């Protein structure tokens, strides 16, 4: 593609802007790309790109998956560009490509790992052909931003280039059917003891066959629409899995992954099903990039789920666990609530949802709370629930609707003083569930809880 004067003005302006922003110690991961796209709308198509591009998209897990892929590649001395510290929309991707190129718009980088927001597909894929496009899963998310899974999967199908090989969650019937003409590789987890025949969740995003509208029959349900299903009337069904977890042992934290009849053992770094899916996604991508089992396992052992998403500490015999519970995202919240109820021992839960935070650009409404399984918190093992923060009264209504006795709930607007109500009798674990926008607040709450435990 001929580059032209607009391209060079955009490139040089963005490069200069990056230098200035860095001198001013400002974030330079968004505006240079935004500027370049303003000056030259088809900039992404014109700039040189690495030969191999892995794009990662999906409702949940894309940041964790990207972080892990990048850390393991780095550990194995791969050189690549990524948008780890940048934004995952067109301006962020553009900034990453600019940083990977010289003043003539040429690059000597061979590999790019890019996290891409699903909704940015129409602005990115017409100009950039991923070698692999990974889709972790597709669920209902913030209504305001994402509408519905049908809308999102349609955007993906319309915009993914025909040459791209897809790496898809085969246990997700929505994800596994995007861009049906493209070459695809499925990953998945075989039936687990904990899988049921009925869906326990409020939300399920695919109920009828997209081909003939007959109600789907589930062979088993893991959570929401994750599981294995078939249409009783036509040939629509869950796909055959290429990278299949055939065994999962949470006692020694190992999985057996089968590909092409070869079984390999891998380490797990989390016992949470969401993170196990993330790990399986990462292994599948790395195998496709040519890494072997030893390389992956060696680096996997050094991995940790990022501290802002999960942390645990034991103080005077009581465990304090912080866990991200992303507001406006009913599936992510429900998975966390499920993890909490299944966690062994007596628990107290501190719930700090903050989707009204200005960084969340103002929440839509509380509809998402009614797609979220607050009912999972109605469990004997949970003896106290403290709710605080902007959503505390909405939480109160929702918890009462879930049938939770008001004696168990304490509620207050201020997060720090709310902790005064924490009762530590018989408690083995305190869960602090927080939003994406309340990381500092979470730290303050955690410190206060730990002091209370020390003085207990």
Helical packing angle, 330-342 and 273-288, nearest 10°: 120
* Residue 208 engages Zn ion in binding (rule: CB under 5 A): no
Binders of Zn ion among 24-83, rule CB under 5 A?
Answer: none
Contacting range for Zn ion; rule: CB under 5 A; set: 63-71, 167-175, 202-210, 342-350? 202-210
Contacting range for Zn ion; rule: CB under 5 A; set: 39-47, 58-66, 235-243, 372-380? 235-243
Q: Which residues contact 58 (CB under 8 A, 6 or more apart)?
A: 118, 134, 135, 136, 137, 138, 169, 175
Ramachandran bin of 184, using left for φ above 0, alpha for ψ from -120 to 50, beta for the remaining angles = beta
* Residue 211 engages Zn ion in binding (rule: CB under 5 A): yes
Whether 286 contacts 69, CB under 8 Å = yes
Interface pick for Zn ion out of 113, 135, 152, 231 (rule CB under 5 A): 231
Q: Which residues contact 206 (CB under 8 A, 6 or more apart)?
A: 149, 173, 174, 216, 225
Minimum gap (Å) between residue 21 Cβ and Zn ion: 53
* Residue 234 engages Zn ion in binding (rule: CB under 5 A): yes
Nearer to Zn ion, 41 or 239 (CB): 239
Minimum gap (Å) between residue 216 Cβ and Zn ion: 8
Q: Which residues contact 114 (CB under 8 A, 6 or more apart)?
A: 53, 54, 55, 56, 66, 82, 83, 88, 93, 96, 130
Contacting range for Zn ion; rule: CB under 5 A; set: 50-58, 224-232, 376-384, 429-437? 224-232
* Residue 376 engages Zn ion in binding (rule: CB under 5 A): no
* Residue 236 engages Zn ion in binding (rule: CB under 5 A): yes
Nearer to Zn ion, 67 or 238 (CB): 238
Q: Which residues contact 63 (CB under 8 A, 6 or more apart)?
A: 88, 115
**N-term to C-term CA, the chain:** 69
Minimum gap (Å) between residue 172 Cβ and Zn ion: 17
Interface pick for Zn ion out of 212, 359, 397, 444 (rule CB under 5 A): 212
Query: What is the distance between the alpha carbons of residues 62 and 89, in angstroms, rounded to a whole number?
Result: 13
Query: What is the distance between the alpha carbons of residues 135 and 152, in angstroms, rounded to a whole number?
Result: 12
Nearer to Zn ion, 61 or 227 (CB): 227
* Residue 310 engages Zn ion in binding (rule: CB under 5 A): no
Whether 80 contacts 70, CB under 8 Å = yes
Total binding residues toward Zn ion, as defined by CB under 5 A: 8
* Residue 216 engages Zn ion in binding (rule: CB under 5 A): no
* Residue 215 engages Zn ion in binding (rule: CB under 5 A): no
Interaction site with Zn ion (CB under 5 A): 209, 211-212, 214, 231, 233-234, 236
């Amino acid at each position: 593609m001929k580059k032209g004067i607009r391209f060079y003005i955009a490139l040089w302006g963005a490069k200069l802007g990056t230098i200035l922003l860095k001198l001013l110690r400002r974030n330079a991961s968004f505006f240079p790309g935004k500027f370049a796209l303003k000056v030259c709308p088809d900039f992404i198509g014109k700039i040189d790109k690495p030969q191999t591009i892995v794009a990662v998209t999906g409702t949940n897990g894309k940041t964790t998956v990207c972080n892990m892929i990048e850390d393991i590649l780095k550990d194995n001395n791969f050189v690549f560009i990524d948008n780890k510290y940048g934004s995952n929309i067109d301006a962020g991707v553009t900034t990453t490509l600019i940083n990977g190129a010289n003043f003539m718009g040429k690059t000597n980088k061979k590999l790019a790992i890019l996290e891409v927001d699903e909704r940015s597909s129409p602005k990115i894929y017409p100009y950039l052909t991923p070698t692999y496009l990974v889709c972790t899963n597709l669920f209902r998310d913030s209504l305001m931003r994402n509408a519905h899974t049908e809308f999102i999967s349609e955007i993906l199908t319309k915009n993914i280039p025909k040459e791209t090989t897809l790496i898809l969650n085969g246990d997700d019937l929505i994800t596994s059917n995007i861009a049906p003409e493209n070459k695809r590789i499925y990953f998945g987890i075989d039936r687990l003891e904990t899988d049921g025949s009925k869906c326990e969740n409020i939300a399920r995003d695919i109920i009828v066959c997209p081909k003939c509208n007959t109600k789907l029959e589930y062979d088993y349900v893991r959570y929401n629409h994750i599981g294995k299903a078939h249409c009783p009337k036509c040939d629509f069904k869950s796909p055959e899995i290429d990278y299949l977890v055939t065994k999962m042992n949470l006692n020694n934290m190992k999985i057996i992954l089968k590909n092409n009849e070869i079984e390999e053992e891998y380490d797990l770094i989390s016992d949470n099903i969401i993170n196990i899916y993330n790990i399986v996604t990462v292994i599948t991508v790395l195998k496709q990039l040519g890494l072997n089992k030893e390389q992956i396992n060696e680096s996997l052992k050094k991995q940790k789920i990022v501290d802002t998403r999960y942390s645990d500490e034991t103080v005077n015999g009581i465990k304090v666990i912080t866990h991200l519970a992303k507001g406006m995202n009913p599936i992510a919240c429900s998975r966390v609530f499920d993890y909490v109820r299944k966690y062994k021992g007596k628990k107290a839960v501190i719930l700090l949802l903050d989707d009204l935070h200005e960084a969340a650009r103002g929440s839509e409404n509380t509809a998402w709370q009614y797609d979220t399984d607050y009912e999972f918190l109605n469990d004997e093992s949970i003896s106290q629930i403290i709710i605080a923060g902007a959503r505390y009264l909405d939480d109160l209504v929702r918890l009462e609707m879930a049938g939770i006795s008001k004696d168990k709930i304490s509620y207050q607007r201020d997060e720090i003083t709310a902790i005064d109500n924490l009762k530590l009798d018989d408690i083995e674990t305190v869960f602090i569930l927080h939003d994406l926008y309340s990381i500092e607040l979470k730290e303050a709450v955690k410190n206060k809880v730990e002091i209370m435990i020390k003085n207990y």
